[in-house]
Chains A and B, each alone.
Chain A
């Protein structure tokens, strides 16, 4: 335990022996409550209320829920971008809020929803910034210096993984939404994270790249025990690719479980307040959600 309490030594031991069975889950979230701080009014509703769940290392958790249910806030709390007002989050057995920002950045990669870029960094430069948390530390030297050969190799691999190596020299300001999204995923992969948090990773992607990104996530999960938490509106995608699904409604956990336990018509109808059809995916047998046709929606 004493060894595990030190993040770095733990990481090294992990990198040394792949496939080590960790004693801690990737995330252990206990009764987390969150609301935005604002002076004056006390009657602000909780964005997250008593959210508790656990994500085992090497698993994919999908977070779904209607608009305003707190999905993105939950992701930000998990990314340590927001501090929970109450409750506790453990990342591989360490309390998240007690960790240093850089330490967290070596473990968690975050893909934001859509980040409009203002400065014409090239795609390659942007992806290389994912190596920043792994730079040599030093108060006065961290601003200077170049990426190492290793950094460049990792960035190139990340770019190939999401199929953007041909865009390497393009400015991020000139990319389409889908291309930019893949750049952000590549940047997060270049962090060589153990946990990947994605906010609507497929929102701007065409079918080919949606399938590709999801397959990449599944492959990384299987091969390097990457833990993935992804927020998505796409219930079918979540159903097909996630090991477990967390259904949020107004900041509370409605259901948490395997896709077949969560994607149920009664549950979805009560949360989304509209009728849906759920059948089986012909290929995988996993639940598949379909919107009702014109004849069915009339009753709602």
Chain B
């Protein structure tokens, strides 16, 4: 490295007017951008460039990381299908899955117990868990970059409680006694989440720009108000329905119908795709607002767009699975340690890891005291809460 340092201190060399033809291969013909840095091209580029050093994200590292995570997700999903009140042998799982795929239909009318359990209970629930985990982790990453706060997650802004309140109002208005299989609930959730965001935005945008700290504080206050309203609604419901509401609020995954699952998948993938389209923008936003603007981003517009997407995704997720917390914070944190901060990798990697994490957590939730179940939100909170405290106590330096 000393040789690089030496040649990278050109200013000490009094010879400024070198022959421009003697330029090294690293000469930059920056035709598209004004001026360029022609002066700099005199210097010798070290053999170990930043790509060779592994200092930047390359497509091969991207492929490798995403590939490994995808394979892990598949492996975990098979393990999750195995466990349950009654374990199903791995060979049996494979047979049923291959069978279902080859018949190209799920309702084959078989009376096979393993097939029924796998295809109608465990598989849809697992897929739901994966979708929810994916979405929460992705939203968490987006909000962390947007708020420049590694502790942000959908709950901090009050988006989740807003969505929950929306869904609770939906239930109160008689959107059915079951919380799932209700197409209207995600819409209520989105409306609630968006309401939360609009209020947050209005309150914080009393200045021309949106200061981050007032945004966080507004979120905290909104959370308190929404929680109170949700508790109020819970208290005036009939006892059996309020029990269901409580269980849902704690965060539970229930096996959905394939129709409902497909609808949710389409809805979420649109939202997630649009969020993924902002990966580089998130990189720049994570640098800070002024930096982002000097790098050419209309920050207000970009933030608004990403906030609305977060509300869409969170609304849908909360309305089907309640308040499953901490995934949006823990997973991105853990993933960032491995992948680095570049959102082009962090976002897809967190999505895969979040999905895998929730599949696993839900398997634990339904097997730990089987045949009874505990809400998966409790599992995620018990694993995420201590992590949160750890970050607060020992990693203060990294928090804003």
Residues of A near any B CB (own CB < 8 A): 11-12, 14-16, 18, 37-39, 76, 79-81, 101-110, 112, 115-126, 128-130, 132-135, 140-147, 150, 152-161, 163, 165-166, 168-169, 171, 173, 189, 191-194, 211-212, 215-216, 219-220, 222-226
Instruction: Determine, out of B32-40, B126-134, B219-227, B360-368, the stretch whose residues face the partner at the interface.
Output: B32-40
* 7 intermolecular pairs with C-beta atoms under 8 Å apart: A101-B293, A120-B340, A125-B341, A129-B283, A129-B287, A161-B43, A194-B34
Query: Among the listed B28, B277, B296, B342, which residue makes an inter-chain contact with A101, where contact means beta carbons less than 8 Å apart?
Result: B296
Q: How far is the CA of A182 from the CA of B284 in the complex (A)?
A: 18
B295 engages A133 (CB within 8 Å): yes
Q: Which residues of B contact A165 (CB under 8 A)?
A: 4, 8, 46, 50
Instruction: Determine, out of B53-61, B67-75, B81-89, B166-174, the stretch whose residues face the partner at the interface.
Output: B53-61
A168 engages B281 (CB within 8 Å): no
Residue of B nearest to A16 (CB): B31
Contact with A along B1-21 (1 / 0, CB 8 A): 100110111111000100000
Q: Is the interface of A mostly helix, strand, loop or mixed?
A: helix
For window 181-201 of B, CB contacts with A under 8 Å fall at none
B8 engages A160 (CB within 8 Å): yes
B1 engages A146 (CB within 8 Å): no
Q: Which residues of B contact A150 (CB under 8 A)?
A: 28-30
A15 engages B340 (CB within 8 Å): no
Q: Does B64 contact A (CB under 8 A)?
A: no
A81 engages B294 (CB within 8 Å): yes
Query: Among the listed A112, A126, A160, A168, which residue makes an inter-chain contact with B43, where contact means beta carbons less than 8 Å apart?
Result: A160
A107 to chain B, nearest CB (A): 6
Q: Which residues of A contact B281 (CB under 8 A)?
A: 142-143
Number of CB contacts from chain A to chain B under 8 A: 229
B283 engages A12 (CB within 8 Å): no
State whether A12 and B31 are in contact (beta carbons under 8 Å apart), knowing that A133-B296, A219-B11 are contacts in the complex.
yes
Q: Which residues of B contact A163 (CB under 8 A)?
A: 5, 8-9
A202 to chain B, nearest CB (A): 14
Q: How far is the CA of A115 from the CA of B290 in the complex (A)?
A: 10
B367 to chain A, nearest CB (A): 36
For window 313-371 of B, CB contacts with A under 8 Å fall at 336, 340-342, 344
Q: How far is the CA of A122 from the CA of B10 in the complex (A)?
A: 24
Contact with A along B267-303 (1 / 0, CB 8 A): 0000000001111111110111011011111100000
Q: Which residues of A contact B59 (CB under 8 A)?
A: 146
Residue of B nearest to A190 (CB): B37
State whether A125 and B55 are in contact (beta carbons under 8 Å apart), knowing that A37-B208, A132-B295, A133-B296 are contacts in the complex.
yes
State whether A135 and B41 are in contact (beta carbons under 8 Å apart), knowing that A125-B55, A155-B50 are contacts in the complex.
no
Apart from A15-B31, A117-B287, what are 15 other A-B pairs with CB-CB below 8 Å? Answer: A81-B293, A102-B297, A106-B33, A115-B291, A120-B340, A122-B56, A128-B56, A132-B283, A143-B282, A144-B279, A144-B344, A152-B50, A156-B45, A193-B34, A219-B39
Q: How far is the CA of A134 from the CA of B136 in the complex (A)?
A: 32
Q: How far is the CA of A144 from the CA of B281 in the complex (A)?
A: 9
